[in-house]
Amino acid sequence: MSLNNVVTLKGWSWRKADDGEWTRCAHDKPTTEIFTDLLDAKKIPHPFLDRNERVVQWVGLEDWEYSTEFEYKSQQGNSTQDLVFEGLDTIATVYLNDQEILYSDNMFHIHRINVNGKLKEGRNSLRIVFKSAFKHGKALEEKYGEMNAFNGDHSRVYVRKAQYHYGWDWGPVLMTCGPYKEVRLESYAKAISDVFVDPVLNDDLSKATVNVNVTALGEAAGGVIDVTLESPSGKKYAGSCSFEDGKAQIEVDSPELWNVRGHGAQNRYNVSVQLKDKSGSVLDQWKQLVGIRKVELVQEKLQDSEGTSFYFRVNNIPVYSAGSDWIPAHNFLTALTKEDYLKWIQLAVDSNQVMIRVWGGGIYEPDLFYEACDEYGIMIWQDFMFGCGQYPYYKEFKESVIREAEDQVRRLRNFCCMTVYAGNNEDYQVAEQSGLEWNPSDTNGDYTNTNFPARTAYETDLPAAVEKLSPQVPYHPGSPWGGKDTTDPTVGDIHQWNVWHGSQEKYQFWSWLGGRFISEFGMLACPSRKTVEQFVTDPIQRYPQSRVMESHCKADGFERRLALYVMENITVRSMNLDDWIYATQLIQSECIAYAYRCWRREWRGDGKRYIGGALVWQINDCYPVSSWAIVDFYGREKLAYYALKRESAPLGLGIYRCDVEKKGQPLEGAQPGPPHDLRDKKYVFDVWGVNSSLKDVEGTLEVRLFDVETGKLIQELDRKSVTLEANKTTEYLEDLAVDENTCIQARVFDSNNNLLARASDFPQPLKHSLFLNRKVKAVANTDSIEITTNGPVKGVVISLDNEDIKLSDNGVDVFPGDPYIIQAKGITQSDKISIRYYEQDAA
């Protein structure tokens, strides 16, 4: 909040460069971009629909101009005028009253340009010429040589633009441009330009030293800076410093800490900074909510296992990081609203996520994204914006990157959700797969003369920026990275893509495919029928293999891979659109559930935190598409979303079944395939409990065994008193024999017989089991739906005509004698419920 004169520019007009005729934007927003403006003017078909992406490619090859006018009136005392550009996408030359004032070639730079003497009293004009970023990158590629990259045109690595605009294996090629962030005119004599609130906690968290560093503009001889902190409980603290010093320090006893959700309150202090002249008059002020917390990345030796741990400790509490990877939520960033961001963060909160990784091929998200994560207690893993590429690092590029890092870390450093910065996404993997000069033991720090020059950024310049500007937040050179081969599961984080990509392992092998921290893994699935109907406008094209459906799946080889996992695991009785959507979403749900369940089990307490977290690729989409997202572009949850929610609940149970001989391991060497594997197999299962809360929970464990085919109860094990130990896994049953055709349900109840958690396990693959004569009912009650069955059923899906009614769960397994209650606020007995489940049409 500034007391100085600030004018936010808006009222933009646009045109093709040097085309003569300007078109006024259909809106009056301060931010805009060419694709949305062309759409508003009905100059192009919507690129998200049908196959329209291919007919709008010309847009990214053109140069475009934006212009606006604004009033300026000089005011006594405001001796300085600056134009502030929060972000220009991307190759931009700016003219004020036809005089060039700025050239920018990095959309992540923040510019403050002094325009004293260039402004006119009254009306002023601002014009921005945006050159084609694609052509700009191709020219640099011609000059410096082609580099390697996994997605998009390889020239993208030369352009400091959101890399996903070049197309990815889940997104279209839509090379937009424009003033995508605010442009402001600021007039002042003295002003606050930056405040860094840097709390440092002592070891036992009983005291915090809050360092407040203030950067001010202008001159204020004899001026003073006053700082106040107000705690959530209303306790106030104060400090001050001179204008010239700009550093205040406040001691806080018994600080009220910001905590990760589930581990305490998300307390934040109201911090106010006032810049005063020597008479005490307030010249400028700044306010923000800031949390006090301590965050550590723990990499220490483990008991009974090689390598080191990789987990985060917040306020001295180890945190198992269940969460997801985030890509930009729209190809056209200016189309996103505050409400859109809040809905996405709420989806993460509602599914028991505690970490979101902001992926390195997108953008540094706007402040309101991080504000929401602060509010809800979500940790942020923040990649720097390098993705899947062999980036250059010549002098000008290096200088641009260092400035980018400093601009963005400076902007983000007051958000308490910031948990770790990572240098890049998969650039070390590109180096390995391309045979670049990459020797982990070489710690020289300057690799600019190698064919992996950007390693200098990841290991020298970016960590220096973080250490300089946000020293309390850990830095990690890349994702994945562990200082060894990027696939080494004993150190650092890994991206586990040997399910779907790579060797295309069975997802039932997830327990053997883990690492110390799995920051990417996933399974592709179609979006919902209603979403398909929104982007496929011709009903004739609404079948799984249509041209339009294929154009909205960007994953190379998706047909073969989806068919592999579907045919390998479940019975396919028809291939119409609804059945295919259900099949792919069921497979994705099963795959994600297996992973979260197996990996969370390895959170075993002190010295045995063998896996510190799992982040599914990905939570969201940037346009309507079949992808790895667990929630589609329009915000409709896939079944995997609910699987993540169930497996990441604060209290949970896990079941793992395996072949006694193989113990669930993948076959090694030239072993007989399933048709010739004639062993007399014997199976055993384990049951364990998980508890992410900080208190032990007592309960009673019940385990029931059912015959899959008949649906009849075979055995109920003796009920057993158990403890779900705080913040760890507790093993309950191990190596219990089970028949091949038996499904298992485990439940745990509190002392009042209230259900605390449930889990289920079915024989794998599901396609070999018969589910005969099932009768499933779903009944609407006030604000809930009750599902009952006469035999075990897999993947029960509830659909409602009224999409405003949000379901607390879906795609669930249901057992006899255990009514499954799904919360559905607003539902009444008159609402129509549609239901389907696996093998619904079996004889």
Q: Is residue 749 within 8 Å of residue 721, measured between CB atoms?
A: no
Alpha-carbon distances of 840 from 615, 771, 775, rounded to whole Å: 32, 8, 9
Burial class (CB in 10 A: 0-12, 13-18, 19+), 207: middle
Residue 823's DSSP bridge partners are: 784
The answer to whether 424 touches 198, Cβ cutoff 8 Å, is no
| Helix, strand, coil % in the chain, rounded to nearest 5 | 20, 35, 45
Q: Which residues pair with 213 in a beta bridge?
A: 196, 247
Annotation marks residue 426 as catalytic: yes
Are 355 and 381 within 8 A, CB to CB? yes
CA-CA-CA-CA dihedral for 578, 579, 582, 588, to nearest 10: -130
First vs last Cα of the chain: how many Å apart?
Answer: 68
CA distance 18 to 65: 8
Of 53, 86, 375, 426, which residue is the catalytic one? 426
| Chain position carrying tokens 């540094």 | 364
Rounded-to-integer distance, Cα 480 and Cα 429, Å: 8
Strands across the sheet containing 224-230 = 236-242, 224-230, 269-276, 282-290
Tell me how far apart the alpha carbons of residues 16 and 18 are, in angstroms, rounded to a whole number. Answer: 6
Give the tokens for residue 696.
């032990």
Q: What tokens were used for 486?
A: 């990027």
Can you list the pairs that 265-270 forms with residues at least 24 positions away whose Cβ atoms lie under 8 Å? 265/232, 266/291, 266/374, 266/375, 266/376, 266/377, 267/231, 267/232, 267/291, 267/292, 268/232, 268/374, 268/416, 269/210, 269/229, 269/230, 269/231, 269/232, 270/229, 270/230
Cis status of the peptide bond prior to 90, with omega within 30 of 0: yes
Active site residues: 426
